[in-house]
A and B are shown apart, each in its own frame.
Chain A
Amino acid sequence: MSNQTDKATLASMHADHGTTVGQPFCDNAKLSTRNVDVYYADNQAIHDVSLDIGRNEVIALIGPSGCGKSTYLRCLNRMNDTIDICKVTGQLLLDGQNIYAKNQDPVLLRARVGMVFQKPNPFPKSIYDNVAYGPRIHGLTSNKAELDDLVEESLIKAGLFKEVKDRLEAPGTGLSGGQQQRLCIARTIAVQPEVILMDEPASALDPIATAIIEELISELRKNYTIVIVTHSMQQAARVSQRTAYFHLGKLIEVGETNQIFTNPKHELTEKYITGRFG
């Protein structure tokens, strides 16, 4: 097939594929999703996605813009609840518990499944208050000394403590972009989540700040399960163990990151990672 594969051909190739190629499932999964459909009003954004996310693994979701990878990510902590017209169907389980069960409190879910956003969004408060925000609202610590320790520990884990230890009372919004994003990561891990969702966490950062964040992700993997959406294939290759390729709302291929980038099985995956469209 020529390099100028037109959209119609792509669509027909896509219609052919039927089920996801590769190994979407794993044993003892942390998050397990089956037949997930997402609709924005009458517009279907996710078609029948089934995917497992293993414990302490970093899984990268890649795909062209508008392929539904962010939408899928936001289903995992019910962030889509904030959008009135959004409807999610299918089965999503966290440690075997239904995320969308009637009696599941989304607030508690989000304390277990934290999220880091594309654009650093520190609160207009001090660095300390930013990190202490989550522990305070969940009542995690019982006194000031414990809270101080937790804030310090979270900042250390996020690799930010050295840079800010002398100005914890300075506003978080005064930090550089990369520092702000690490502050947001510190804020997220201060709540002690089990899973961290990252929506293109480095796309607004320069290469040096990106490298620091990527190192941090590899470090965090020891204690957390991480789902990262990224536009940078190099980044996916560097930080993740498994990679899932989304296209037009469907999950095309899942596999070991190495295998996806060296020997993709599906033609669409190959075209995307070799940079022929996307």
Chain B
Amino acid sequence: MTISAILFLLVLLAAFSFFMGRQKVHAVYLKQRQNSDLDVRLRVKFTLPKYFGYVAALWSLVPALLVLMVIEIVDEPIITKQLTNYMVQSNINIEENFDLYLNEIQNLDVNHIEGIDPAKVKVFEKFSDLNSIASTAKSVVVLALAILMTVFGLKKITVDLPARQYFEKAIEIILLLAASIAVLTTVGIVLSVLFESIRFFGEIPVVDFMFGTQWSPQTAIRPDQVGSSATFGAVPLFIGTMLISFVALVVAVPLGLMSAIFLSEYASSKFRSFAKPVLEILAGIPTVVYGFFAALTVAPFIRQLGESVGLSVASESALAAGLVMGIMIIPFVSSLADDVISAVPQSMREGSLGLGATKSETIIKVLIPAALPGIVGGVLLAASRAIGETMIVVMAAGLAANLTVNPLNAVTTVTVQIVTLLTGDQEFDSAKTLAAFALGLMLFLTTLVLNVIALYVVRKYREQYD
């Protein structure tokens, strides 16, 4: 029986429990409410029968699901173990890697086994046998448990059971599980990046990586190749990332903040309801379209402009990428800032206006300080978008890891290098691919530090109303 069939049966059983559980207390419930006098009837307080139904359904569902989960986790190692034992007993020896061999066995098709090594076919047959036994056992155990728990649960259902409290507790646990999945995923990602980075730092010293100014990750395939020594100095990448993000924020923060102030304080509600969605569409345009725009329109324009005043501008410049990225992240700043400025209580505006302050004085001295946390939040979101942006940089700023703070030069960023390190056919244990994890870790730490600083700034300068 497949998992989906088992799940389907479990749900059916739970539905059955729900109706039975509800039914069991329904008679008592009705009896208590059976009184011709409405006043008496209104005074009878009673846990609604549906809660007893929910508790019964949980009894039949939860233990069975837990057991199913455990079996799903442990059955594969057990089958593998059995298969190995079988292979040892029947003297089947293999030269290749056992994992690869197992993979081949799993991928065999019952209908296409002619012409394959008979030993392999034998193992395959054993494997299929084991699988079907495991599957049957799984179905029997889970369903039997579910039925048992249903009977048990229904037996426990009486009018005295605090069903509403049980149900509330169950809801709380479900919500907790949902929250922990997000947290655990984050922890998992961080740990995996961390371990791969440690492997990388085993080959390349941390100091070389963090303070090296030369980035050329090409390792030699043959020993006699030219330029065979790869260097992994990450400084140019981080400087490049910072440079482009800085240009982007210089564009996005003032424009976004000012448009937010206009929309929330000056624009008529008609204009606002039209302009806000249009502005937010900016965030919905695929970044590759922005990249296109940056590479084909903005970069040549900047180059021409620079040349007309006698500056030498690279055809792929940090400035072009940063400008276009800035436009892209405007809605992150403006939308959030608009929301928080609008959320400042009207009484603050009236208090200030009532003292004879002008609109702009009110905005600068009262509204923005009160809305500061939200504004900083928006800027941070925009900054992380800028730091993580890849496509625009690939198209408009290039791949050359130059160590420069001149926005007219071509630079590259951390994310772009991660992409180039990992695309194509790569072995996953060379320094070159592992460097991607180290870069990822550094990027993660950088954003983390940025967040902490922002949090501190907000705490210190925030003016909290009510």
Interface residue ranges, A against B (CB under 8 Å): 77, 79, 82, 84, 107-112, 114-115, 117, 119, 121-125, 133-134, 137-138, 171, 173, 184, 187-188, 191
Contacts and interface: CB of A to CB of B under 8 A. Distances in A.
Nearest to A136: B365
A77 B352 contact: no
Contacts of B358: 107, 137
Contacts of B465: 123-124, 173
Nearest to A138: B356
Given A117-B350, A121-B345, A121-B347, A173 B356 contact: no
A134 B356 contact: yes
Contacts of B370: 123-124
Contact of A111 (B268, B351, B356): B356
A191 B354 CA distance: 10
Given A115-B354, A188-B354, A133 B463 contact: no
Contacts of A115: 350, 354
A238 B259 CA distance: 50
Contacts of B354: 77, 79, 110, 114-115, 117, 188
Interface in B347-361: 347-358, 361
B351 A184 contact: yes
Interface in B325-377: 345, 347-358, 361, 365-366, 369-370
19 contacts: A79-B354, A107-B356, A110-B354, A110-B356, A112-B356, A114-B355, A121-B345, A123-B351, A123-B365, A123-B370, A124-B369, A124-B464, A134-B355, A134-B357, A137-B355, A138-B356, A171-B463, A187-B351, A191-B355
Nearest to B361: A137
A150 B153 CA distance: 75
A110 B370 CA distance: 23
A173 B466 CA distance: 6
B161 to A, nearest CB: 46
Interface string B188-222: 00000000000000000000000000000000000
A84 B268 contact: yes
- Chain A interface, >50% SS class: helix
B353 A79 contact: yes
Contacts of B269: 84
Interface residues of B, number: 24
A233 B366 CA distance: 35
Nearest to B466: A173
Given A107-B357, A173-B464, 10 more contacts: A77-B354, A79-B353, A82-B350, A114-B355, A123-B348, A124-B463, A124-B464, A125-B463, A137-B357, A173-B466
A191 B356 contact: yes
Contacts of A108: 356
Contacts of A133: 352, 355, 357, 365
A121 B348 contact: yes
A114 B351 CA distance: 10
A10 B380 CA distance: 60
Nearest to B345: A121
Shortest beta-carbon contacts, A-B, top 9: A111-B356, A124-B463, A115-B354, A121-B347, A134-B355, A110-B356, A121-B351, A124-B465, A137-B357
Nearest to A84: B268
B360 to A, nearest CB: 10
A184 B348 CA distance: 11
A158 to B, nearest CB: 14
B355 A110 contact: yes
Contacts of A114: 354-356
A110 B353 CA distance: 7
A125 B347 CA distance: 15
A114 B350 CA distance: 11
Candidate in B345, B350, B370 with the most chain A CB atoms within 10 angstroms: B350
A187 B354 CA distance: 10
Nearest to A191: B355
